[in-house]
Structure 1
């Protein structure tokens, strides 16, 4: 690893990446792409990673905390992969934001379901470029960020030997 890539710099890059993903999500929201329930769920681990990384850099917290940053990024990557599968109808999503079969519903139950339906559904692709959706990007970037967190931890361990 190049000598300029210190453990603290790796943590800062990972935290900045999570912060950038959050900012991008808010920009997309401002541009008229409101988040579904699974989109919002994917934001929380990024917030944890960004705040943790900021604290680690500013307060010089021990690199042992990098494991929590990696865990946060792996968590949001998992949520992103799950959401990708829901969007592509590979598996069922949560009832709170996906379409449900209506064949067994009474008219009254169907009307109640329609009235309670969210504005944004998790099983519809809101945006994509070349077949890559926002949850796909989140999962891929989050795995990269997790790698940075792990590299920071391992490089700190090697330096201490």
Structure 2
């Protein structure tokens, strides 16, 4: 989330609607993971839930990347950053940039931010699952 928020607030890369969809499971995963530190009896299922939420964000990212690469059509309209600039409501509406969900504003190694989210999130969820299955104290909670 630090990368997504940093690219938005420091780098000026405003998110589209589908980018925002990818953030919600990550926010939930952070809350669930923090709960796992205080709810000791439910620690293992909460970690599994956090991994699942991270994988959901990765799946949304994979879908979004497919929309950006033109592999399939998206499910949403484009989004704007209405309200992000301050000032009067009319000025905000008139000056809000249109953020398209089907155009990647940034690439690294030919992969968009949505694609990187898919790779990192799905890989991270898989790593959590592998580590959880190997932990001897978690044998009763294997899915």
TM-score range, shorter chain: 0.7 to 0.9
- The structure with higher relative contact order (CA 8 Å, sep 6+) is 1
Range that drifts further, 52-61 or 85-94: 52-61
Taking the aligned partners of 1:76 and 1:145, their CA distance within structure 2 comes to: 11
**Alignment match, 1:48:** 28
Work out whether 1:27 is the aligned partner of 2:14: no
Taking the aligned partners of 1:133 and 1:39, their CA distance within structure 2 comes to: 11
Alpha-carbon displacement from aligned partner over 1:51-105 (angstroms, at most 9, x marks no partner): 111111243333022221121111111101100110011100124129xxxxxxx
Taking the aligned partners of 1:121 and 1:138, their CA distance within structure 2 comes to: 18
Query: Which segments of 5 or more consecutive residues in structure 1 lack a partner in the other structure?
Result: 1-21, 99-114
What does 1:86-105 align with in structure 2 at a 5 Å threshold?
Answer: 86-97=67-78
Change (3 A) 1:160 1:153: closer
Taking the aligned partners of 1:56 and 1:151, their CA distance within structure 2 comes to: 18
Query: Which segments of 5 or more consecutive residues in structure 2 lack a partner in the other structure?
Result: 80-93
With the length of structure 2 as denominator, give the TM-score of the two structures: 0.75
Cα offset for 1:152? 4.3
Question: 2:64 aligned to 65, 83, 102, which one?
Answer: 83
Q: Is the 8 A contact 1:69 1:149 kept in 2?
A: no
Taking the aligned partners of 1:131 and 1:138, their CA distance within structure 2 comes to: 14
Count the aligned residue pairs: 122
Q: Is the 8 A contact 1:87 1:123 kept in 2?
A: yes
Taking the aligned partners of 1:24 and 1:38, their CA distance within structure 2 comes to: 16
**Alignment match, 1:8:** none
**Alignment match, 2:137:** 159
Cα offset for 1:121? 0.5
What is the alpha-carbon root mean square deviation over aligned residues? 2.3
